[in-house]
A = this chain, B = another copy of it.
């Protein structure tokens, strides 16, 4: 897709959002190393163009389901970073009141139906949102994000087939970052592209370079418009790469430093897009630099907010299990 066909504000939003994700993730890596963010943390560095290229087409009343590697999706969908940062710290002001953490960040209000600790777990939820959209006669869409590892799992198969037979407004976005923790893609499947699986469900399957946000934008546009028109689901495989370990603390024994460096040097989605924006005169170096500064400031404010926020209390443990206070639920002790 030529840059000229995309509104300038969209282009700038895409750049800025990628930067915000990048700055966020690198800061979280530090916070994890400092022991301030506990638990399992899977970062999105290197994959920013996927979330951003897709989310550029989504409205607030569209839905997404995310993964264990979900910060990028949340931010691109419009999630509040203060609230998610406090969540990563486990604070009471967190978007999930400290109960979810990195693997369960969610904001139903903005259509973010949740990260998921179960690989593939969120795929049918997007199908469900799409079913709800259809039965309520809305023109929203739902997008399911998941890794290529998830494409070998039950919910991929069952979820996509259901979406196909019921012709639901849902787009399946497979982030093929070439690894399922330590297992390379070549040992996960004998086919060359997850997109080939679209045919198995009678839906279009498209593969696209995930380091090129404009390419992602283009295939997403078609798939999302198709869904909105009521023509059914599409499977998009976005070829990408994670620049950091599977989770923070990963010794990465399964891939070489050279491989990682090659990707960082040649396929950084932000650098690639920056070159386009500058070459086409859409923004100046200074304008872009300002976005980085702004992002850094935003993230620092979020960190400060998180650090200063109170911890949840003992009483909070037993709240939020059910929607109505219910007697006869054994909360503390026999």
Residues of A within 8 A of B (CB): 152-154, 156-158, 161, 164-165, 187-191, 196-197, 199-203
Contacts and interface: CB of A to CB of B under 8 A. Distances in A.
Number of copies: 2
Q: Most chain-B CB neighbours within 10 Å: which of A165, A190, A203?
A: A190
Contacts of A152: 157-158, 161
Contacts of A197: 200
Contacts of A201: 189-191
Contacts of A161: 152, 188-189
Contacts of A156: 157
22 contacts: A152-B157, A152-B158, A153-B157, A153-B158, A154-B157, A154-B158, A156-B157, A161-B188, A161-B189, A164-B189, A165-B187, A165-B188, A189-B202, A190-B201, A190-B203, A191-B199, A191-B200, A191-B202, A196-B199, A196-B200, A199-B199, A199-B200
Nearest to A154: B154
A237 B200 CA distance: 14
A188 to B, nearest CB: 7
Contacts of A200: 191, 196-197, 199-200
A190 to B, nearest CB: 3
A170 to B, nearest CB: 14
A152 B283 CA distance: 49
A141 to B, nearest CB: 19
Contacts of A203: 190
A221 B16 CA distance: 60
Contacts of A191: 199-202
A89 to B, nearest CB: 37
Contact of A165 (B153, B189, B202): B189
Nearest to A161: B152
6 closest Cβ contacts across the A-B interface?
A154-B154, A190-B202, A157-B157, A200-B200, A197-B200, A191-B202
A200 B164 CA distance: 16
A165 to B, nearest CB: 6
Nearest to A232: B190
A236 B150 CA distance: 25
A127 to B, nearest CB: 13
Nearest to A188: B165
Contact of A190 (B157, B158, B164, B196): B164
A14 B274 CA distance: 69
Contacts of A165: 187-190
Contacts of A154: 153-154, 157-158
A154 B199 CA distance: 17
A201 B151 CA distance: 11
A187 B167 CA distance: 11
A118 to B, nearest CB: 13
Contacts of A164: 189-190
A156 B188 CA distance: 16
A189 B187 CA distance: 28
A167 to B, nearest CB: 8
